[in-house]
Structure 1
Amino acid sequence: MKNTKRLKNAVNKTVIYVLLIIFALFMMGPFLWLLSVSLMPGKNIFAFPPAILPTFIDFKNYIEVWQYMDFLKYIWNTVIITFLGLTLSILFCALTAYPLAIFKFRGRNTIFLLLIATMIIPAAAALVVNYLTINKLGLINSFIGVVLPSIVTVFNVFLLRQAFMGVPLDIRDSGKMDGASEFRIWAQLMMPMIKPAVAVVALFEFMGNWNSFLWPIIVLNTDKYPLASALSFLNGQFSYNFGWIAAGTVISVIPIIIVFLFTQKYYMEGISGAVKG
């Protein structure tokens, strides 16, 4: 009886893992196809069925696209934008979420509901307003002008608020008893307690700022473009080399994959904590 039960469990687990692997390969299909195109110069990309896995490997596209574009300059621009956006977003979103989670004041829930309601507004609807605001502030063609409109996002505030609500109030009370200010309690006691949620926000902000495309094109001159925007140079009006575009896209995605691999543990903890909260 026990052997039959063990066999049944083993079969169930095998079926589940096989289905999950098939689903993962299905979701990875577009990226694998892009990688194959980048590694097979001269290959017909519109051939059917598409080559999900490369039949031969040649790094010609990578070498040529690296020589054609000043990748180091655009990568450095991207690093600056990503660092500014990530740091300022964590700071201001945490400062916004903390009173909504901890303080008891009239209208707190109403303010939070109004914030959540703004999530239905499409981002494209704010482009004109954001541009006029950045222009009035004199921040056109500056990295601060790129990150300023997206420093505080409702999703990040929601995630951090849920994390703060999961922290025992005794920790804040102990800080009050020691005479610490509210800002010191927030920075030294509360923030270390929500590291998984902060890691999730950092990961999302890293991906969002690293892949920022449209807004930098509107705000910046071409010499300050981040990498995602600079890849538009590969798609000219009369020329179209998809192998170069694929190679450039793969290069731009590699840092995101590396960062995610190192932060996936905190990502899962932060998401589960937000759901429980």
Structure 2
Amino acid sequence: MTVEATNSSPRLLVVDDDADLRSLMIEYFGRHGFTVHGASGAPDAFRLLDEAVPEVVIVDLHLPAGESLTMARRLRRAHPSMGIVMLDAVVGEPSDRIRLELGVDDYLPKPFDNRELLRRVRGLLRCIGRTAKPLAEDVPYQPRPSDVPAVRQRIAFGACSLDLEARSLFAIDGTEIPTTAAEFDLLELLSRHPNRPLSRNRIMEHTRNQAWNVFDRSIDLQVMKLRRKIERNPDKPVVIKTVCSVGYVFMAPPSK
């Protein structure tokens, strides 16, 4: 099954052996400006990939014969810039945090809210410079209230600056640094609470990445990815520091 929007629409591939759920996702994303293809497993998916490479692939983790993890590895090797979202109906297994290290960009447990999945996919598209045309029915994101007033909308630190209003991260030369929605949410939360150590529980409570409610170690993986993007030396971080037995703290630059 395929739903086409326009020739310039972002391309999405949904790989799930649940035909009903697959059809629902195809129909939903089609209404929100995507050209969507569906596949029941890896063989169908790779056949479609030979015809056209999508910007984002949504993969059910529990495809038959362990196809999902093999597929994720192959996709990442062949298409480094492709966005990959993994869906999982079984949570809490010890090996789950390892799956996040296979090159998967985002993770969402089932059952999920369609709007949350749409937000995650759009976040990945922003990272690769593509957008889906918004429809009138789309609900715009409303910033979360914070116990720290957003006095300034741009925060400078190290060799980077964070534009909270545009939800963008920039290098010192003005070049935008791609971030996933999960990475930006984490960096925004930490930067709004400078010099205040935040526990992993606090981070999970105040971010929109629902996967972190299940995978405590996934926060550590996101921090590791952020450090590679914002720290001059990721092995000796000065912006996001680890607080032993607590969590992480964003070190505000000294006042001039």
TM (norm. structure 2) is 0.22
TM (norm. structure 1) is 0.21
Greater RCO, 1 or 2 (C-alpha within 8 Å, sep 6+): 1
The structure richer in strand per residue is: 2
The structure richer in helix per residue is: 1
Rg (Cα) greater in structure: 1
